Amino acid sequence: MPSPNKQSSSLQEKAGISSPEITSIAAINQIQKNRKKQPSANELINGILDENRTALSRAITLVESTNPDHAEKANEVIKGCLPHANKSIRIGITGVPGVGKSTFIEAFGTFLTQLGKKVAVLAVDPSSSLSHGSILGDKTRMEELVKDENAFIRPSASGETLGGVARKTRESIILCEAAGFDTIIIETVGVGQSETAVHSMVDFFLLLKISGAGDELQGIKRGIMEMADAIVINKADGDNIKKANQAKLEFNRALHLFPPKKSNWQPKVTTCSAITKDGISDIWNTISNYFEMTNETGFFPEKRKEQNHFWMMETINEQLKLNFYNQPEIIAQLELNKKAVQNDEISPFAAAQNLLKLYFNKGAK
């Protein structure tokens, strides 16, 4: 027995708490059975319309699936939800990594729920081009908003999709709207100048910037700056307030170099701090003014019609691509042509033509 004056080692083991005995094998078996049970399309639709979060999550998972067997069921769910959609404000938020998108969305989303809004956040996480893995850590970074009963956060992997959004973000918006969410926020990957896809599925496009990082120079370039309906200089707090106000002036000057938008809306530049919440209400006022103006001029409903047409064409292109790569004959010949191209036995263009000819001839039979 150690002496009273001698300290015990910090590595000394102490008696722990024993695991409780399992008292209901039947209950555990029932839970496992329910997890494996796949709800029907009607069950998912009814659950979504009843604002059931579990049904909404399972429906989004179904829609995002690349399994061809799930496509028909997913289309049925979307079709059942479509009459109850298109009743929300869709806001796209982008910015380079490190600009504070998740922190801003948590502050902005919390502000909206306090106004009585129901907010759905579709956060797109970048995927590895090597392992194809994704961390999906947005829920962890929005720890307050995720506990809000009027908020729903769904992280999705971007996969190989370009444009800063996931492959099925457009369909996920419809499901969230049918579930009663009146404000949809889409957080993009944040890849800089290639956020075109998210711009084609939202009503208002917000670009987050930070001062003192060379971003002011980007104001003289087009690309993503030209798509923005508002630019927000984030992290305007502490010693950074002066720099943020200077950046605001620079961006305002740059925006005047761009041609007028079809909506006749003049993009606004403002500053905010997601930490102190300063400037958050001003951003919502800007968005509200935008919707009021574009509804009065008729631009808002016209833009929605154009977006629906755009996504019809995108869906056709995507389906043709998936169908092409899922053909057994193409799968077999693709590997052979790939090796031939690598060995300079055939040009890439000729190999592509051979595969397309095989695909179309098969479809003509």
User: Stretch 213-235: mean pLDDT, rounded?
Assistant: 71
Contact 111, 98 (CB under 8 A): no
Q: What are phi and psi of 124, to 5 degrees?
A: -105, 125
- State the amino acid at position 55 in one-letter form: A
Task: Please give the Cα distance from 300 to 85 (Å, whole number).
Answer: 16
Tokens of 58: 């399972």
The more confident residue out of 313 and 291 is: 291
List the Cα angle 130/132/123 in 5-degree steps. Answer: 130
User: Stretch 102-119: mean pLDDT, rounded?
Assistant: 95
Q: Is the pLDDT of residue 190 over 90?
A: no
Q: Is the pLDDT of residue 137 over 70?
A: no
Average pLDDT, the chain: 82
The more confident residue out of 157 and 243 is: 243
Q: Is the pLDDT of residue 275 over 60?
A: yes
Residue bearing tokens 């209400």: 281
User: Stretch 332-349: mean pLDDT, rounded?
Assistant: 93
Report the pLDDT value the prediction gives residue 351, as an integer from 0 to 100: 94
Task: Please give the Cα distance from 101 to 104 (Å, whole number).
Answer: 5
What would the pLDDT profile of 294-323 be if each residue is shown by its tens digit? 999 999 999 999 988 888 888 888 888 888
The dihedral through the CA atoms of 164, 168, 171, 173 has a sign that is negative
Categorize the per-residue pLDDT at 121 as very low, low, confident or very high, splitting at 50, 70 and 90: very high
The more confident residue out of 307 and 215 is: 307
The stretches of the chain forming alpha helices (DSSP H) are 25-36, 41-49, 53-64, 68-81, 101-114, 138-141, 169-178, 196-199, 224-227, 241-255, 280-297, 299-325, 328-342, 348-364
- Continuous segment of H or E residues that includes residue 206: strand 204-210
Percent of the chain with pLDDT over 70: 78
User: Stretch 110-125: mean pLDDT, rounded?
Assistant: 92
User: Stretch 136-164: mean pLDDT, rounded?
Assistant: 71
Task: Please give the Cα distance from 343 to 322 (Å, whole number).
Answer: 27
Quote the distance between the C-alpha of residue 166 and its chain's center: 6
